[in-house]
Amino acid sequence: MFTGSLRLAKVAGIQIRLDYSLLFIAGLVVYQIYLDLPHRAPGFSNDIYFWYALIGAVLFFSSILWHEFAHALVAKAFGYHVQRIVLNVLGGIAVLEQEARRATHEFWIAISGPLSSAILGGGFLGAQLFFEEGSVIAALFYWLGMINLLLAAFNMLPGFPLDGGIVLRAVIWLITQNHLTASRLASYVGQFMAALLIMFGFVSLFLQGFIMGIWGIFIGWFFLTSSRLQLFFAQQRAGLRGISIRQLMRSPSAVNADWSVYYALDNVALTGGNQNAPMPVLRDGRVVGVFSGESLQQRPRQDWWRLRVHEVMTPIELVPRVEADTDLYDALQAGQMQVVPYVLVTDNEHPIGFVSRQDLLRLGENRL
């Protein structure tokens, strides 16, 4: 539905993007502040209310950015790479490159957002006291103070993908020391909360009006889906835990760097190997590259006699490598196995085999 986003700036190495859906919400925020200001600061002109509402909207989105930056900076302090912050119709998200490795990390990264919103809300409410009661600026600061406290409270609701859901999982994870159990319990709590919201939405449809009801159903449905999805991810994570790369690895026979490509492929076929799987290329007893029949797709067949293996191989320095005892989950999380068709498996930096995308798919078929 809302997929496009606008690149805004880069701060502390973190990209900030605005989702286009936000432009729609920005109008609503300006309008809401414009309606609210006269209650606490009556007697000013509509122009004044409008300009303060505009400033208020900018400060409101800065508040959300502040919340997301708290997540991002705490994550960075724990050594996670933060790809970007996106502001969207539901607030914002800080996108980390990988999931939290420990319960304590997850706890602090998640709770830092609501905590910083609460502090900011307190700050606005405090600042408001320095201005004359009934002035527009005092009314605006009051509004910003309350909205930030509301933001903190809303985000602490115990459901995914809200911070509260993640905090809940982190706490159970910390107690049980089991990520899957924690995810399951937190997901059930989240689904229960989502069901309540949907019910509330349906009731509101009749009692409080259409918009309120639809909003409740929409948000509830979104939480329900997210909570289920989080459990699915956790199950996947548990399934991949404890499988070392070594268990998936294949060690095909090597080809010689100076062989013709035709001879090399013939040799593989004769030994019953897969011509499209990666093979180590040897020169003087050392592995210097990786060769696979797949790399020949662009080359005309009649050239295969002439072409030498070293001319079409991938030099060994360019092949991503993973140590044999790495947990499969860690390897996937670190992104080492996501973009390339295969990785080189090493034992004390010594090449000993490959894991290819096909091997991963094979594992998936057996487990899911």
* Contact positions vs Zn ion (CB under 5 A): 113, 163
Pick the closest to residue 146 from 220, 26, 27, 59 (CA basis).
59
Considering the complex, what minimum distance in angstroms separates the CB of residue 178 from Zn ion?
25
Considering the complex, what minimum distance in angstroms separates the CB of residue 356 from Zn ion?
38
What is the C-alpha separation between 148 and 159, in angstroms, rounded? 19
Considering the complex, what minimum distance in angstroms separates the CB of residue 161 from Zn ion?
9
Considering the complex, what minimum distance in angstroms separates the CB of residue 113 from Zn ion?
3
What is the C-alpha separation between 151 and 90, in angstroms, rounded? 11
C-alpha distances in Å from residue 337, one per residue of 176, 322, 331: 30, 9, 6
Query: Residue with CB nearest Zn ion?
Result: 113
Nearer to Zn ion by C-beta: 37 or 149?
149
Nearer to Zn ion by C-beta: 154 or 263?
154
What is the C-alpha separation between 15 and 5, in angstroms, rounded? 12
Considering the complex, what minimum distance in angstroms separates the CB of residue 71 from Zn ion?
5
Nearer to Zn ion by C-beta: 54 or 89?
89
Mark out the alpha helices in the chain (DSSP H runs): 21-40, 46-77, 103-128, 136-155, 163-176, 179-207, 210-240, 245-248, 261-270, 309-312, 328-333, 357-367
Considering the complex, what minimum distance in angstroms separates the CB of residue 340 from Zn ion?
33
Nearer to Zn ion by C-beta: 113 or 220?
113
Nearer to Zn ion by C-beta: 15 or 256?
15
Considering the complex, what minimum distance in angstroms separates the CB of residue 22 from Zn ion?
16
Contact 72, 94 (CB under 8 A): yes
Token readout for 241 is 């835990």
Nearer to Zn ion by C-beta: 154 or 200?
154
Token pair 């208020």 in the structure block, residue: 56
Nearer to Zn ion by C-beta: 113 or 293?
113
Handedness of CA 195, 181, 165, 7 (dihedral sign): negative
Nearer to Zn ion by C-beta: 110 or 313?
110
Rg for the chain, CA atoms, rounded: 28
Contact 106, 166 (CB under 8 A): yes
Nearer to Zn ion by C-beta: 67 or 287?
67
Token readout for 137 is 């600026």
What is the C-alpha separation between 107 and 217, in angstroms, rounded? 29
C-alpha distances in Å from residue 334, one per residue of 45, 93, 236, 349, 352: 57, 20, 16, 18, 21
Neighbours of 260 (CB within 10 A): 17
Considering the complex, what minimum distance in angstroms separates the CB of residue 91 from Zn ion?
7
Considering the complex, what minimum distance in angstroms separates the CB of residue 67 from Zn ion?
6
